[in-house]
């Protein structure tokens, strides 16, 4: 790992240990990186899925994943910001956690806040179900070179464009992004 990190690194062997840490520090910590063992390492470690479910219970969210070494990767977890956008996947997870009565007051407060400020209803689709917005379809029909390159994009670059278009809050922001992405596609450029 070459660059300095903005949060401390911690390791948890079990989901119970991460849960206990959040119960004690969840309202005061600005976030951490969890050192998670890779599947092939055979090291006792919390899994990413376990860490995310527990984070959601406390109103926290996953962020950037970074490489660490041959046996571990780092996953950043932070308290959810008041206006952060929810994913459909995390909404489903939270509804299951609520039904299982696993949510903590801070996690329920994050859900209530998201519902109050409309972020809950603006949740974004996962890569598997996200659609091409009509205005992008129309722009691609007008620009054959951009359309041809768009068809060659790997899923991560395709999703990056679609997500950024869908998440634009203002029509003018969406139009500006659309123009930018059509230009990039025409030049054979990608976001990642």
Assess contact for 35 and 67: CB atoms under 8 A: no
| pLDDT tens figures, 23-70 | 999 999 999 999 999 998 999 999 999 999 999 999 999 999 999 999
For tokens 């691609």, the residue is 140
Assess contact for 33 and 76: CB atoms under 8 A: yes
Position 183 scores a pLDDT of 98
Residue 1 pLDDT exceeds 80: no
| pLDDT tens figures, 104-147 | 999 999 999 999 999 999 899 999 999 999 999 999 999 999 99
| Residue from 153, 152, 143 nearest 179 by CA | 143
Ranges of each domain in the chain: 9-116, 134-186
> Cα 7 from chain centroid?
18
| Residue from 49, 97, 93 nearest 75 by CA | 49
Q: How far is Cα 98 from Cα 21, in angstroms, rounded to an integer?
A: 20
Q: How far is Cα 46 from Cα 15, in angstroms, rounded to an integer?
A: 6
Put simply, whether the predicted model's pTM sits higher than 0.75 gets the answer: yes
Mean pLDDT of the chain: 95
Residue 184 pLDDT exceeds 90: yes
Position 106 scores a pLDDT of 97
Under the banding of pLDDT at 50, 70 and 90, the label for residue 3 is low
């Amino acid at each position: 790992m070459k660059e300095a990190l903005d949060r401390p690194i911690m390791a948890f062997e079990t989901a119970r240990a991460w849960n206990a840490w959040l119960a004690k520090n969840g309202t005061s910590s600005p976030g951490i990186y969890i050192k998670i063992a890779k599947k092939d390492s055979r090291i006792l470690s919390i899994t990413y899925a376990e860490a995310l479910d527990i984070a959601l219970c406390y109103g926290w969210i996953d962020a950037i994943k970074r490489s660490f070494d041959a046996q571990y990767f780092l996953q950043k977890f932070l308290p959810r910001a008041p206006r952060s956008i929810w994913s459909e996947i995390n909404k489903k997870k939270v509804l299951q956690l609520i039904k299982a009565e696993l949510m903590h007051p801070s996690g329920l407060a994050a859900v209530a806040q998201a519902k109050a400020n409309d972020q809950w209803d603006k949740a974004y689709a996962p890569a598997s179900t996200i659609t091409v917005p009509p205005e992008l379809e129309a722009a691609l029909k007008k620009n054959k070179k951009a359309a041809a390159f768009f068809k060659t994009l790997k899923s991560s670059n395709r999703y990056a464009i679609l997500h950024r278009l869908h998440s634009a809050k203002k029509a003018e922001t969406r139009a500006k992004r659309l123009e930018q992405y059509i230009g990039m596609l025409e030049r054979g450029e990608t976001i990642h």
